[in-house]
Amino acid sequence: MQGSSHRPLAGRTVLITGGSRGLGAATARRLAGMGAEVVVTYRQRAEEAEAVVEACRTLTAGARAEQLDLLEEDSVRALFERLQAAGTELDVVIANAAATAFKPLLELKLHQIDKTFAISVRHFLLLAQLAFPLLEPRGGRIIAVSGADTVGYIPGHGLLAAAKSSMETLVRYLACELGPLGVTAVGVLPGYIDTESIRLMAGPYHEKLQAAEELTHPLRHAASPEDASEAVALLCLDEARWLNGQIVNNDGGGLFAYMGRFGHAWAMVPDAAVGTAPPDTTDAPMLQRTDPPTR
């Protein structure tokens, strides 16, 4: 388990579910750049997964794609049978894939509840159980990707938030149960990331959502998958071992800043909505400006 500082993950093997696009793909590319051999899984988009793998191979040899449908127990079992048969050992498993129905709770169908919980709870735990024998010889780590909807209300996210909250609880229990056996578990909790799923969720409001991030996020930026992959990669390092059992925010300070960002939200309400003439906001103390303060 030695690696150079430039390629600190040299000799490591990392499995990333949902690596064909979004955060999973960006994480795979970043980890390959740090020296890791990556195994990316996809559900349907084999070509996109292959393109990710090609990019990873230019950075570190051995990258490969595997089909995995987390809705199907057999598919999870079959993946680990293939890995076992190939003699694969794992240093890190990143449970990143997710899918849900973004709807108000009263509109949800039972099959949507079952599917969301199958991916993020039932088969997340099965994945952890089946991955454990491959992780144990290397003192490996399970990283679970949660989301901001477990800490604050996001319209249409109640179901996914419920599943991800359960996943976070499983991470804490895995940390306690597997820690004595040398395997650690940690959760990572991103805020906004500009991916296909958030574009689907926000629909026609995506541009406004993105603009709101750029105007009000503490870093004045709408996070890309590459931005969000930075902290996920940090959690793969040996030095993150003492984060065992933690759910680590990966939001650039955006979540803590939400109450403060309220100060920008009112400024973005169109004047017509409150029926007043455009106000003079020059001296509005709540409007935090981006230009440097004058002394």
Ligand X SMILES: NC(=O)c1ccc[n+]([C@@H]2O[C@H](COP(=O)([O-])OP(=O)(O)OC[C@H]3O[C@@H](n4cnc5c(N)ncnc54)[C@H](OP(=O)(O)O)[C@@H]3O)[C@@H](O)[C@H]2O)c1
Contact footprint for ligand X (CB under 6 A): 17-24, 42-45, 48, 68-71, 96-99, 119, 145, 147-148, 190, 192-193, 195-198
CB of 234 to ligand X, least distance (A): 16
* 202 or 267: CB nearest ligand X: 202
CA dist., res. 11 & res. 173, Å (int): 28
Least Cβ distance, residue 86 to ligand X (angstroms): 20
- Closer CB to ligand X, 1 or 200, in the complex: 200
Direct distance between the N- and C-terminal alpha carbons of the chain, in angstroms, rounded to an integer: 52
Query: How many whole angstroms separate alpha carbon 107 and alpha carbon 289?
Result: 40
The residue whose Cβ lies closest to ligand X is 22
Query: Smallest distance from the beta carbon of 135 to ligand X, in angstroms?
Result: 20
Token pair 């955006």 is found at 254
Q: Which is nearer to ligand X, 200 or 268 (CB)?
A: 200
Q: What is the 3-state secondary structure (H, E, C) of 142-209?
A: EEEECCHHHCCCCCCCHHHHHHHHHHHHHHHHHHHHHHHHCCEEEEEEECCCCCHHHHHHHHHHHHHH
**By C-beta, is 24 or 156 nearer to ligand X?**
24
| DSSP codes of every residue in 14-28 | EEETT-SSHHHHHHH
Say how far residue 96 (Cα) sits from the centre of its chain: 6
Q: CB 252 → ligand X: shortest distance, Å?
A: 12
Cβ of residue 96: shortest distance to ligand X, in angstroms? 5
For the chain, the residue count is 295
Nearer to ligand X, 19 or 140 (CB): 19
